[in-house]
Structure 1
Amino acid sequence: MTEPVAFPQNRTCPYRPAPGYQALAERRPLSRITLYDGREAWAVTGYALTRRLLADPRISSDHSDPSWPVANAAAAAARNFGADQKKVIGRLTALVGVDDPEHRARRAVAEAGFTPGLIDALRPKLQAVVDRQVAEMVAHGAPADLVTAFASPAALFSLYEALGIPREDQEYFKQQTGQLFGPAAVTAYDELVAYLTKLAGQHPTDSLLDAYLAVVGDRGTAEVLQLVLIMLVSGHHTTSSSIAIGASALLQHPERLAELRADPSLLPAAVDELSRLVAVTDGIQRVAAADIEVDGTTIAEGDGVFFVLSLINRDEKHYRQPEVLDWHRPDPGDHLGYGAGPHECVGMDLARAIMEIAFGTLLERLPGLRLADPAGEIPVQPGESFTGLVELPVTW
């Protein structure tokens, strides 16, 4: 056995794997890693093996499993929260943190909201949110931090609009959701549920909330409200980080940027290619519920498994020139940035729409947009298997 590689490690470039993952890339598709507490686990880094394992029922998403792997001390501390806080966290992971048949039943409701027709109907609302954020950033003046001035609020308020949260209530909602993983989690959760219960009675049209209610009826209102909060918690940071890091990648590829400005019809493919390259969710966690044989190697029952997307999406056996930003690939949407199998991101088409509108509006409204600091000085959030930027200074 080769020496395990420490996981997770910090990226030095926002859209490239951590330099210390080179050994994992060389050992594709499966190798050993060591977590922060010395526990060993498996890193999956091959595209084909990822598709196979994420569809295997022996690869469990059950967060309550005592063998569930944690990537850092903060995640470990959350497992020692009090009973009330754990109950809230359990509700907020009730879609991604359970297995079938429970997962299948909840996902069926969640999928009912994400129809192509509804997402198309939401586009004018999403455009209005993005237009407002760009206008506020421009009014504030250059230079600006694209993370706090644009990417984060554009993603968050777009989700609010999609879910049917009225604009006048969005700041209140932001304050309450910000407390869901802190000491006031129970109070915040109860207040949010009370608010959503009242909102559900009004059936906001052209919204995910209304689409969910139409599927389950009044008897399923509690389940729908839980789904709404899950969407907010799981969807905001991945989308905002994809916008911020995707923008940093585009601004370092001026020839690609010019091509998009000349032909906006390329935006859908560009969003997928940026999602492949960025891979913000860099370590999808699972636990083996039974022994699994992989080409003569055994992933034993109880072993932790991490799917390292920054390497999976650069597998040379699947992608030609994987380090190149190229949205002219035959199928730019076949990346695994949204996962795969039963737990593939249910909101990925909404995320794509938000990013497409965000990038398109930035390119149109700010033709001179560029980095305000050298690319090598862009600060990446440290120590996580989820990647984000501390800030992204830009000017125009």
Structure 2
Amino acid sequence: MNESLHTVTALPAARPADRPFDPPAELLDARRHGPISRYTHPGGRPGWLITGYDLVRSVLADPRFSSRRELMNVVDFELPPAPPGEFLLMDDPQHRRYRKPLAGRFTVRRMRLLAERIEQITAECLDAMEQTGPPADLVTAFAKPIPTIVICELLGVPYEDRGSFQEQIDTFMGGETSEEELMAAYTATQEYLAELVAAKRANPTDDVLSELTGTDLTDEELKGISLILLAAGFDTTANMLSLGTFALLRNPEQMAALRADPALTDGAVEELLRYLSVAKTFMRTALEDVELGGRTIEAGTTVVLSYHTANRDPERFADPDVLDLRRQDAGGHLAFSHGIHQCLGQQLARVEMRVAFRALVDRFPTLRLAVPAEEVRLRPETADIYGVKSLPVTWDKGES
């Protein structure tokens, strides 16, 4: 049986040029062979690739699989533990120590209360875009500034520092920089956050980071938490807004449906999250031998979880490769992960996307690409988060 098991030997793989929203063909092929495949990590270590929805979801909920960075058996040297506060790469109880004081600050109710401010920020971005006139790069005019301003205001990052923050996060999450450039940006961000934490502890203001200085978290822990919140709160939502708009423009009947029916907005956001899955893959390491999909995952083996193929699994979603904003089965997608590491800021991201997509289609009913679709510049598969680097758009002047 094992001899016939499908094997994947190289990731990441490029996406087909004519289908930029689909997972790479190698991953889709792996899933067609079954939900689990053998995989060789870049460092030569043997592992597994999980591409099916049910198995990915089960691993995410299984405490026998670890998120700890130092246990990731993917290279031929030992990885260090995650720095204090960077709880995405930790298990409970350390993970819970950092997540618990944040949970009450990112509730559904609290995020909905932010909707009015998000509407204001979105309107200001669209006002500026309209006043400048077509064409415009939707990434710099719309997709990046909205989540950047929101997360920086939540954390209490001074307005004048937002531009440099955005640039640094782009550098170490964009997948196109050298190791030296990446480390320089990461170090600069860490140094800035250390200064910011010290300032908030000395003079608290009305923001989440100041609130956290009243807990037992150390300055080093607060610095790590802030980095996670800034990177996740900015980069993922920015790429969902830009890539989501690109997907809508490439599916004009779906764009028209959204424009015509405001009640479709919530469902549209869930379907775009499922269809695009910008956070593509994560890893877990087995803490003991685990039977999974008829295979034995040996203790110490690291598995790669493919979110974007799981969210396109025909066993879970009808016609999964079709973008359908009226889809009834988009709920339960894994775009925000699952289990104890399910995205803390998912409700904030949803509010931002609902407000931003609604405002964009209402303001610019003739919005369209300003270049051929094949010329739109996309992030490489090496990026932590998939997305659009630049999205030139145009519209009929005077329409709004």
TM exceeding 0.5: yes
What residue identity is the alignment partner of 1:120? R
In the other structure, the counterpart of 2:7 is 4
CA deviation digits over 1:205-239, x for unaligned, max 9?
Answer: 3x4335545xxx35436344542222002232211
Equivalent of residue 124 in structure 2, options 127, 132, 139: 132
Q: Distance in 1 between matches of 2:391 and 2:280?
A: 20
In the other structure, the counterpart of 1:148 is 140
Matched, 1:108 2:109: no
Distance 1:295 1:307, change over 3 A: closer
Task: Give the Å deviation of 1:382.
Answer: 2.1
Q: Distance in 1 between matches of 2:170 and 2:14?
A: 25
Distance 1:120 1:318, change over 3 A: same
In 2, are the aligned partners of 1:244 and 1:389 still within 8 Å (CA)?
A: yes
Equivalent of residue 90 in structure 1, options 83, 87, 90: 83
Q: Distance in 2 between matches of 1:390 and 1:260?
A: 24
Task: Give the Å deviation of 1:99.
Answer: 0.7
Task: Give the Å deviation of 1:203.
Answer: 4.2
CA deviation digits over 1:320-364, x for unaligned, max 9?
Answer: 111222233335331001111111111111111111122112112
In the other structure, the counterpart of 2:276 is 278
Which deviates further from its counterpart, 318-327 or 268-277? Answer: 318-327
Task: Give the Å deviation of 1:40.
Answer: 3.5
Which deviates further from its counterpart, 117-126 or 245-254? Answer: 117-126
Q: Distance in 2 between matches of 1:177 and 1:295?
A: 37
Q: Secondary structure at the match of 1:333?
A: coil
In 2, are the aligned partners of 1:173 and 1:192 still within 8 Å (CA)?
A: no
Q: Distance in 2 between matches of 1:126 and 1:196?
A: 25
Aligned residues: 378
Structure 2: stretches of 5+ with no match in the other structure: 173-181, 396-400
CA deviation digits over 1:71-109, x for unaligned, max 9?
Answer: xxxxx99x88xxxxx79x6246x2100111111221111
Matched, 1:196 2:194: no
Q: Distance in 1 between matches of 2:385 and 2:189?
A: 25
Normalised to the residue count of structure 1, the TM-score between the two structures is: 0.86
Q: Distance in 2 between matches of 1:122 and 1:212?
A: 19
Distance 1:18 1:105, change over 3 A: same
What residue identity is the alignment partner of 1:90? P
In 1, are the aligned partners of 2:239 and 2:387 still within 8 Å (CA)?
A: yes
Structure 1: stretches of 5+ with no match in the other structure: 71-75, 81-85
Distance 1:282 1:356, change over 3 A: same
Task: Give the Å deviation of 1:369.
Answer: 0.8
Distance 1:176 1:42, change over 3 A: closer
In 2, are the aligned partners of 1:143 and 1:395 still within 8 Å (CA)?
A: yes
In the other structure, the counterpart of 2:209 is 209
Which deviates further from its counterpart, 264-273 or 169-178? Answer: 169-178
Which deviates further from its counterpart, 124-133 or 342-351? Answer: 124-133
In 1, are the aligned partners of 2:168 and 2:185 still within 8 Å (CA)?
A: no
In the other structure, the counterpart of 1:73 is none
In the other structure, the counterpart of 2:398 is none
Task: Report 1:115-264 matches (<5 A).
Answer: 115-171=107-163, 173-174=165-166, 181-183=182-184, 185-186=186-187, 188-200=189-201, 202-205=203-206, 207-209=207-209, 212=212, 217-220=214-217, 222=219, 223-264=221-262
Matched, 1:14 2:20: yes
CA deviation digits over 1:361-392, x for unaligned, max 9?
Answer: 21122111111222233332223263122322
Distance 1:40 1:338, change over 3 A: same
Which deviates further from its counterpart, 24-33 or 34-43? Answer: 34-43
Matched, 1:316 2:309: no
Q: Distance in 2 between matches of 1:101 and 1:377?
A: 47
Q: Secondary structure at the match of 2:121?
A: helix
In 2, are the aligned partners of 1:62 and 1:99 still within 8 Å (CA)?
A: yes
Distance 1:209 1:121, change over 3 A: farther
